Amino acid sequence: MASTSSTSVGSGSTVVTWVLRLVVVGYLFFLIGWPSALIVRRTFEGGTQAFTEALQDPDVTHALQLSVVVALCAVAINLLFGVGMSLLLVRYEFPGKRALSALIDLPLAVSPIVVGLALILVYNPRFGWFGESLDAHGIQIIFAKPGMVMATTFVALPLVIREVVPVLEDMGDDQEQAANSLGANAWQTFWRITLPGIKWAVVYGVVLSLARSLGEFGAVKVVAGNISGETTTAPVLVQQKYQNFEQQTAYAMSFLLVAAAVVCLVIVALLRPKDHKPSRATATAAIQEKAS
């Protein structure tokens, strides 16, 4: 304890510092560390054999594949629309902009189950708004991949936007205007100037979306209809296996899901350059300049 007293004012504050640290560490341990560690421990309780066996179950491999495909589709869609929406929100003025900005956060606020139900109401082949006509053309959305992709996309919608918008705001439109005056058209400006500027925000948003999409349970469970072996994603299967007393398989899949998330975050931490944030000073200066 004496070693930290150099950074604090008195012995009283040293105690406070240590108590605060203990609280934070304890909080993180009981909430995140211990449960995650238990998953890992249970997975490898009987050595790696149980783990590899669990992964040979065709249900498991199918669910994992499905999860990956659905997540990748959802991320691709969210990437495209996320970047587009961010540009719209930051660079353009239009009526209803604040309402749109608030609406984008809706998926974070609404329970995923409700999202699933809402999608069923619209696309159900028997009584949904579009469902009947789509079904007549042989397009099935609910209880099939398109519905699962839609539900996942909906749930992960704000993640790319919320990462990209502050960086775009920080960046200002000076560089884009300069590119414009040098003869670049909108596409060239986006590709050569805007995108490199928001690159890390986009990567971070994509990774967060990927992690969120892989783990989505509620919304997907509702729209997937749980056609066993067909529309069961990894998180849904974890629940099924657990309830069917196949705990070992459930742990193995849980471990994989946790590992995927951790790998995602580690990759981002490694990729992300230390000075990727543009200085706030230049951004404020740019605003002042516009005001003059």
Partner 1 sequence: MSIDVSGLTKTFGDFVALDDVTVSLPTGQLTALLGPSGGGKSTLLRIIAGLDTADAGTVTIEGREATNLPARKRNVGFVFQHYAVFKHMSVAKNVAFGLEIRKRPRAEIDKRVAELLELVHLSQFRDRMPSQLSGGQRQRMALARALAVEPTVLLLDEPFGALDAKVRKELRDWLRRLHDEVHTTTIFVTHDQEEALEVADEIVVINDGRVEQVGSPDTLYDKPANDFVMRFLGETTDLAGQTVRPHDIDVSMSPGVAGSTPGTVTRILRVGFEVRVTVTTDDGAEALVTMTRTLARSTGVEEGAKVWLTAAKGATAVPVMRAV
Give the nearest distance from C-beta 177 to partner 1 in angstroms. Answer: 5
Give the nearest distance from C-beta 274 to partner 1 in angstroms. Answer: 12
In the chain, % helix, strand, coil (3-state, to 5) comes to: 80, 0, 20
Question: How many C-beta neighbours within 10 Å does residue 167 have?
Answer: 21
285 binds partner 1 (CB under 8 A): yes
Stretch that binds partner 1, among 8-16, 116-124, 138-146, 283-291 (CB under 8 A): 283-291
Distances (CA, A) of 150 to 13, 73, 162, 216, 224: 52, 9, 19, 12, 11
Q: How many residues bind partner 1 (CB under 8 A)?
A: 24
Give the nearest distance from C-beta 275 to partner 1 in angstroms. Answer: 8
Which of the residues 156 through 215 are near partner 1 (CB under 8 A)?
Answer: 174-175, 177-185, 188, 192-193, 196-197
Instruction: Tell me how long the chain is.
Output: 292
Cα 241 from Cα 245, distance rounded (Å): 6
Give the nearest distance from C-beta 198 to partner 1 in angstroms. Answer: 11
Choose, by CB under 8 A, the member of 56, 94, 275, 280 that binds partner 1.
275
Q: Which two tokens stand for residue 96?
A: 């209803």
Comparing CA positions, the residue from 43, 26, 23, 1 lying closest to residue 255 is 43
> Is the CB of 56 or the CB of 292 nearer to partner 1?
292
60 binds partner 1 (CB under 8 A): no
Phi-psi region of 194 (alpha: psi -120 to 50; beta: other; left: phi over 0): alpha
Footprint on this chain of partner 1 (rule: CB under 8 A):
174-175, 177-185, 188, 192-193, 196-197, 275, 278, 282, 285-286, 289, 291-292
